[in-house]
Amino acid sequence: MELSVNPTAFQIKPDLDNIIHTENVKKVIQKVLSETLSDKTYSTGKAKLWTKFIADEINKSLKDSLRYKHVVQVVITQKLGQGFKFTARCRWDSECDRHTTDSFTNDTLTCIVTVFSVYLY
């Protein structure tokens, strides 16, 4: 009696077809940012609510990504002519994990969103 083994049953890393595409994530970020912030004026109290709403909406939109966990980081700052530097670090598998960053700006605020897409083994 011979046992047949499915070669994909023990696959640890995703196929190239299943690796998340950053262009698709960027489109989701841009859509949520423009729908949420296009007509807004900076307010300290509202910025806190907007950051949570933006992160939740992006997470919901990306929820169906096969075997990926998304960590969404949102920063909203008042635009007063000052400089702004933003950095993030993450330890991951560079073959299948990805990150995507996009920003939105208007006359009163700047918003930077980074999505870390981490493959679940």
Alpha helices in 1-121 (DSSP H): 22-37, 44-62
Domains of the chain by start residue, with CATH: 20-119 (3.30.1140.40)
User: pLDDT tens digits, the chain, 121 residues: what are they?
Assistant: 565 556 556 667 777 777 888 999 999 999 999 999 999 999 999 999 999 999 999 999 998 877 899 999 999 999 988 887 878 777 888 888 999 999 999 999 999 999 999 988 7
Collapse the DSSP code of 76 into the 3-class scheme (helix H, G, I; strand E, B; otherwise coil) and give the result. strand
The secondary element (H helix, E strand) that includes residue 105 is strand 98-105
End-to-end CA distance of the chain: 32
